Structure 1
Amino acid sequence: MSVLKLKLDQDQLVDDFFESTYLVGIVSPVRDYQLCWQVNRELGYRFKVNNTLEINLTKNNRHFHFTVYEDRENIKSVSHYLYNNHCKAEFLMPELKHIDYLWLIKGNYYQVDDIKKLIDQVRKLEFVQLVSIVDIKDLRNRMNLIF
């Protein structure tokens, strides 16, 4: 009896996960919960930490846990995820060391103009120093964002 082996196509998994998504990089010196509190208060979001989405990486026999906050807009079928890019001097996305947080917007509702408006709103927040769109295709470690 022969055994059929199935191989997971990681490239297809990554492409499927990032279909209809936008990624925004945020530079802010405050803790993740403080940033989420301000985004929730000033912009009307409902970000909450989701421990089931926490991303765990192991590098050089050390374990790192990257917090993920989540907000869902059920009416628009859109999910928002705010990733902490730092953990104990390690980075979730090493190619974005200058970025503190990554805001992933997943769903078909928002268009580029909507994302630009969101960036303008986030840029006005007290604790935010820089906000910009990140091109997902340019990231080598995109797999790290998949939970």
Structure 2
Amino acid sequence: MAAAKKILKLDQFEIEDVFFENAALIGISSDKPIYSLCHFLNQAFSLDFERTTHLDVQIGKKNVTYSFAVYQSPVCGSAFVYTLYKLKVEDVLLLPSLKNIDYIWLITDDDPEERAMHYLKYLRQLPEVQFAGLLEKDKIKNIDYLIL
């Protein structure tokens, strides 16, 4: 008698919980290209955002693959890394539920909400940023696209 094959299935909710456990999300609207926005963030907050091409999010639509840029900055004195995601390529949206947001800044920290609020206060004052706000992870559809 043949043994039945056991199919293993990843628990997507558990993966999301672990990935976003110490994270807060800031949505940013800016007409600046991501490399330019990173330059402003690096200057304003003494960060070191750099492109991490092997982490770019790839989405295929109608036989075309779109690549959404990902930039990362190590957090000085900790094991945390900040990640900035580009959400729009041409007319394609990585997260369609966030039509008016151009970028997501994933803040990882021991107290991510407090850290995000600290950055938000200053982000809102930058002329390169039209909007910056804290996003609720639970309300974002396809948030798994952000899991690296």
TM-score, with normalisation over the residues of structure 1?
Answer: 0.92
Aligned partner of 1:137 in structure 2 is 138
1:122 Cα deviation (Å)?
Answer: 1.2
1:114 Cα deviation (Å)?
Answer: 2.6
Is it true that 1:85 corresponds to 2:87 in the alignment? Answer: yes
56, 59, 66: which one pairs with 2:58? 56
1:105 Cα deviation (Å)?
Answer: 1.1
**RMSD, aligned α-carbons:** 1.4
1:111 Cα deviation (Å)?
Answer: 4.2
Letter matched to residue 21 of structure 2: E
Identity fraction in percent: 29
Q: Give 3-state SS (helix, strand or coil) of 1:112's partner.
A: helix
User: Partners in 2 of 1:4 and 1:88 — Cα distance?
Assistant: 42
Is it true that 1:104 corresponds to 2:106 in the alignment? Answer: yes
Number of residue pairs the alignment of both structures matches = 146
Deviates more, 1:30-39 or 1:54-63: 54-63
1:76 Cα deviation (Å)?
Answer: 2.5
Q: Is the 2:73–2:81 Cα contact (8 Å) retained in structure 1?
A: yes
Structure 1: state its 5+ residue gaps. none
Aligned partner of 2:69 in structure 1 is 67
Aligned partner of 1:21 in structure 2 is 23
10, 13, 18: which one pairs with 1:11? 13
Is it true that 1:115 corresponds to 2:121 in the alignment? Answer: no
TM-score, with normalisation over the residues of structure 2?
Answer: 0.91
User: Partners in 2 of 1:80 and 1:40 — Cα distance?
Assistant: 12
User: Partners in 2 of 1:111 and 1:7 — Cα distance?
Assistant: 30
